[in-house]
Structure 1
Amino acid sequence: MNGRYVSVNAHDGRQFQAYLATAIGGSGPGVVLCQEIFGINQAMRDVADFLAEEGYSVLVPDLYWRQKPGVELGYSEEDFQQAFGFYQAFDENAGVDDIRASLNALRQLPECTGSAQGVVGYCLGGKLAYLAACRLPEVACAVGYYGVGIEKALGELEGLQGRRLVLHAAELDQFCPAEARAEIFAAALKTPGVETYLYPGVDHAFARPNGHHFNKPAALMAHERTVA
């Protein structure tokens, strides 16, 4: 796939960059893809391209642009420490605003068809996808992969109002341990429209292509549930 970068107008009048992967047929339903803590790196572009092959037009916003535009980190210990620093300083509310701006930008592109839009996110982006589903009425559905910290924001579910939300969790994920998962799954059972899936024997980032914890069977199963 040949993706490209486009400019997105933020709510405060400034602009930030986003990676656009166009649906294989030239146009398709719009999806905003929210990054892990490592920025828009090759893994995130690969995920966007993969979704584009499924027929979606995918926009990946640079969610760190307020701190440092163009962050693209790998998975060395040094890069992880940098990524964790960006994560700790990240403003989630501003991130949701940027998702809204990205949805608006995507709607205006000829590569995007239809009014229904989705949000998919991984790690940091998994929680942001959750928050976007709960806060933004323009989000028709959202999918969060091993989102971190969702158990601290369960009150947000009141805003979901029946929209589809899918949450994928890894059994061995130290960033979302069993106690946190139990809280999330219990709240999900009481909320219409929420689907939760636990993948046994896999760790955080099990769906990252070529990652250390990549588990192909679990990743494929999660993908099938994501695009269902």
Structure 2
Amino acid sequence: MTQRQIEVATSDGIASAHLFGDAGAAAGVILYMDAFGPRAALFGMAERLADEGYAVLVPDLFYRFGTYGPFDAATAFSTPETATQLRSMIGGTTQAMTAEDTGFFLAALRQAGATGPIAAVGYCMGGSRALTAAGTYPDDIVAAASFHGGNLASEAADSPHLLAGKIRARVYVGTAGVDGSFPPEQSNRFVDTFRRAEVDFTLENYVGMAHGWCVPDHSVYQVRGAERHWRRLTALLAETLKAD
């Protein structure tokens, strides 16, 4: 399995990205980062997906801010200086920006040889980006998964649930049992909207898990919950990216 760093030219500059997978992988996955940026923990997750036979792209969504970090996922939000920096970067990287960038990410995967179906997978802030990508590029993205994604059905004008009518991908949402960024009122709105739009989706509640439980370097990482997420994710990808 190979790994290489590439540069993806976008409308706003050059986004650094890491590409995983052996040459000849026809199906691709865009892995949208959590708030702490591309790092070893996410690269390990990308390698695990690449081992399933996919070309996996992990782009830096914060590239507009230049050099930053690395951030310690276990302490970044408990340290005032890095917490302020992270909140500024999250707020300054809009859904619209990532949606536009995704067109270039898709092209990068195609150029790398992923000529088959594509999936979008995201964690934390990346979860909402994965769903937005599915609604923005319905002809390209056949599966989308969000794990501990926040604000998936908020009252914001760019909330991902508002794109439900455009999504043709199969969607999986894994939510932490208690998560202030995706409270019950949002999950109810999400389910109602996606059912009315006739989206093929699953929303699963991981009872006992906290926001961030899937990512190994997070302070609330939980092995059993993470392995459950891997079973769900690999099944989704096998059924959509490897379907005959």
Q: Is the 8 A contact 1:9 1:105 kept in 2?
A: no
- Alignment partners' CA distance in 2, 1:80 and 1:126: 20
Using the TM superposition, give the Cα deviation of residue 158 of structure 1 relative to its aligned residue in structure 2, in angstroms.
1.1
SS of residue paired to 1:151? coil
Question: Of residues 177, 180, 186 in structure 1, which corresponds to 2:183?
Answer: 177
Using the TM superposition, give the Cα deviation of residue 69 of structure 1 relative to its aligned residue in structure 2, in angstroms.
4.4
* Cα distance change, pair 99–65 in 1 and its aligned pair in 2 (3 A): same
Q: Is the 8 A contact 1:30 1:118 kept in 2?
A: yes
Normalised by the size of structure 1, how large is the TM-score? Answer: 0.89
Extract unaligned runs of 5+ from structure 2: 236-244
State the partner residue of 2:108.
105
State the partner residue of 1:124.
125
The alignment's C-alpha RMSD in Å is 1.9
Report the more deviating stretch, 183-192 or 173-182: 183-192
* Cα distance change, pair 210–7 in 1 and its aligned pair in 2 (3 A): closer
Q: Is the 8 A contact 2:14 2:63 kept in 1?
A: no
Q: Is the 8 A contact 2:121 2:144 kept in 1?
A: yes
Q: Is the 8 A contact 1:188 1:195 kept in 2?
A: no
1:46 is the counterpart of 2:44: yes
Extract unaligned runs of 5+ from structure 1: none
- Alignment partners' CA distance in 1, 2:67 and 2:109: 20
State the partner residue of 1:14.
13
Report the more deviating stretch, 186-195 or 203-212: 186-195
State the partner residue of 1:193.
200
- Alignment partners' CA distance in 1, 2:64 and 2:194: 32
* Cα distance change, pair 187–207 in 1 and its aligned pair in 2 (3 A): same
* Cα distance change, pair 70–5 in 1 and its aligned pair in 2 (3 A): farther
SS of residue paired to 2:211? coil
Using the TM superposition, give the Cα deviation of residue 145 of structure 1 relative to its aligned residue in structure 2, in angstroms.
1.0
Percentage identity across paired residues of the two chains: 25
Q: Is the 8 A contact 2:119 2:144 kept in 1?
A: yes
Aligned AA for 2:135? C
Using the TM superposition, give the Cα deviation of residue 128 of structure 1 relative to its aligned residue in structure 2, in angstroms.
0.2
State the partner residue of 1:33.
31
Question: Of residues 40, 49, 73 in structure 1, which corresponds to 2:71?
Answer: 73
State the partner residue of 2:239.
none
- Alignment partners' CA distance in 2, 1:212 and 1:14: 33
State the partner residue of 1:87.
90
Using the TM superposition, give the Cα deviation of residue 198 of structure 1 relative to its aligned residue in structure 2, in angstroms.
1.0
Using the TM superposition, give the Cα deviation of residue 61 of structure 1 relative to its aligned residue in structure 2, in angstroms.
0.8
Q: Is the 8 A contact 1:121 1:143 kept in 2?
A: yes
Aligned AA for 2:38? I
Q: CA offsets, 1:113-145, max 9 Å, x none?
A: x42111111111000001001111211111111
Q: CA offsets, 1:20-57, max 9 Å, x none?
A: 1114x763421111011111122211211111122211
